[in-house]
Amino acid sequence: MNTESLARHLACIDCGAVHALGYRLQCDKCRGLLELVYDLDRLRRDGPGGLRGAGLWRYAAVLPIADPAQRVTLGEGATPLLDCPRLARQLGVRRLTLKYEGPNPTGTVKDRSSATAVSAALQFGFAATSVVSSGNAGSSIAAYSARAGLRSLIFAYERTSAPKLLHMAATTPDLVIYRGVYDDLITLWDRLVEDRLFFDCGASRNAYKHEGKKTLAYEIAEQTGWAPPDVVVAPLAVGETFVAAARGFKEMHAAGWIPRVPRMVAAQAARANAVVRAFRAGGDITPLKIGYTVAEGLAAGDPGRKGAWALRLLRETGGVAGEAEDEEILAAQRTLARTEGIWAGPTGVAALAVLMRLLAERALDPAQDICVVVTETGLKTEAPPPERAGVAFDEASLRRLVVERLGRR
């Protein structure tokens, strides 16, 4: 099965209607979101032993790109699942692993969905892509589009960090900075999608795009010898990462590749917590008017229909939704860097901050095997220039300093 895509059709998540594979963003009958359905019998028969190759396209069988020549890559995926015993001890958790997405080509989990989105743009004959982004998606879509020889029209949040803006400006000539937050532009942009001037690389509807992030779940499963952790904590803005990961585990379970699905925990920034509120209140999502959060990738007040899907998956699977304040996120960022040497951005570390809070509130069992998805590197974070007053040493003063810092006390 190595290189053959086993995608068979699209199915509506609301009414179940089946649609042929094609560039279709919602159900004809009820406007519900669509998900890709694969040949589960083949998956069951072949088993994981049939996987070939490295990185994201190792999982080509469960991705929707038929022609191997259209599978765009910059070397994404195959990120480490890091055992973190020191941090686990500090948090009082039996076993803690981090799925660290920093090593991806543009430093974030977005590269997984960009790979399948841009490949699908080629598959369906588009010449251009577009996305509305708070920074990471724009960076990633611009890079993958360039790699595929496609134009990309990128709309970036005005508060996007400087490194992300530099990266976008380097990879596309068509970068537009928009005023306000993601929610202000996305509804208008979504209406233009139907004109087909660009391939929809947004997170709200495109089933082909979010599919790439499903490989997070496949990698975690494979890296644990097909015995995934009890709990997986993943960040949630619009819900693409969360839904894709949850679907991946569900699919592997249905194909008999893993004995059970992990309990899924959705992590939001307290300043953009629409899903957490709905989860607690037990009702539907009420869109929020939001401002700034340090977790800029989580700054969405209206998670839309994908957010509603995430909420449904949370409820169906006995999951939990939690939140963290900006200060908690920044504290988690420092702790992670000092205890395990992992420098992640605020958005990337939000799920860890939420785990810390849920443990403190005793909402999660510390005796379980817990995996946190840390979705971005810290190297794209905005920061004032560090202090750089240099010290001139001679032999004696250098010795004094080393002894003072590292000598026995």
Ligand X SMILES: *Cc1c(COP(=O)(O)O)cnc(C)c1O
Enumerate binding residues for ligand X (CB under 6 A). 108-110, 136-137, 203, 235-242, 297, 347-348, 375-376
Closer residue to ligand X, CB minimum distance, 84 or 132:
132
Q: Are 222 and 215 in contact (CB under 8 A)?
A: no
Structure tokens at 33: 């979101």
For the stretch 226-230, contacts whose Cβ atoms lie closer than 8 Å and that sit 24 or more positions apart, written own/partner, are 226/48, 226/252, 226/257, 226/258, 227/258, 227/259, 228/258, 228/261, 228/262, 228/371, 229/95, 229/97, 229/262, 229/368, 229/369, 229/370, 229/371, 230/262, 230/263, 230/368, 230/369, 230/370
Q: Which does 121 bind (CB under 5 to 8 A by kind): Zn ion, ligand X, none?
A: none
Q: What residue 239 binds from ligand X, Zn ion, none (CB within 5 to 8 A, per partner kind)?
A: ligand X
- Distance of closest approach, residue 25 Cβ to Zn ion, in angstroms: 12
Euclidean distance between CA atoms 17 and 54, whole angstroms: 35
Q: Site for Zn ion (CB under 5 A): how many residues?
A: 8
CB of 237 to ligand X, least distance (A): 4
Residue 353 amino acid letter? A
Among 1, 10, 32, 154, binds Zn ion (CB under 5 A): 32
- Contact between 242 and 203 (Cβ < 8 Å): no
Choose the one of ligand X, Zn ion, none that binds residue 27, judging by a C-beta under 5 to 8 angstroms depending on kind: Zn ion
Q: Which stretch binds Zn ion (CB under 5 A): 23-31, 109-117, 183-191, 315-323?
A: 23-31
235 binds, among Zn ion, ligand X, none (CB under 5 to 8 A by kind): ligand X
Nearer to ligand X, 215 or 255 (CB): 215
Q: Which of 260, 264, 262, 272 is nearest to 233 (CA)?
A: 264
Distance, in Å, from the CA atom of 343 to the CA atom of 328, rounded to the nearest integer, reads 16
Mark the segment that binds Zn ion (CB under 5 A) among 9-17, 197-205, 245-253, 277-285. Answer: 9-17
Beta carbon of residue 283, minimum distance to ligand X (angstroms, whole number): 20
Among 9, 17, 70, 343, binds Zn ion (CB under 5 A): 17
Residue 320 · residue 364 · CB < 8 Å: yes
The span from the CA of 216 to the CA of 262, in Å, is 13
Contact between 18 and Zn ion by CB under 5 A: the answer reads: no
What are 183's two structure tokens? 């929610």
Q: At its nearest, how many Å lie between ligand X and the CB of residue 121?
A: 19
Q: What angle in degrees, to the nearest 10, is found between the helix axes of 304-316 and 274-281? A: 40
Compute the least distance from the CB of residue 234 to ligand X, in Å: 8
Identify the residue among 18, 30, 127, 402 touching Zn ion (CB under 5 A): 30
Which of the stretches 22-30, 48-56, 93-101, 145-153 binds Zn ion when contact is defined by CB under 5 A? 22-30
Work out how close the CB of 27 gets to Zn ion at its nearest, in angstroms, rounded to a whole number: 3
| Whole-angstrom distance, CA of residue 248 vs CA of residue 255 | 11
Which of 242, 279 has the CB closer to ligand X? 242
| Number of other residues whose CB lies within 10 A of the CB of residue 264 | 26
Residue 311 binding target from Zn ion, ligand X, none, CB below 5 to 8 Å by type: none
Q: Is 358 in the site for Zn ion (CB under 5 A)?
A: no
Q: Tell me which stretch binds Zn ion (CB under 5 A): 32-40, 191-199, 241-249, 383-391.
A: 32-40
Mapping DSSP to helix (H, G, I), strand (E, B) and coil, where does residue 181 land? coil
Choice between 313 and 342, CB closer to Zn ion:
313
Nearest to 147 by CA among 107, 177, 106, 187: 106
CB of 242 vs ligand X, minimal distance in Å: 6
Give dist(CA 12, CA 7) in Å, integer: 15
Q: Give the nearest distance from C-beta 247 to ligand X in angstroms.
A: 13
Q: How far is the CB of 210 from Zn ion (least distance, A)?
A: 18
Q: Which token pair is 220?
A: 């975690």
Binding site for Zn ion (CB under 5 A): 12, 14-15, 17, 27, 29-30, 32
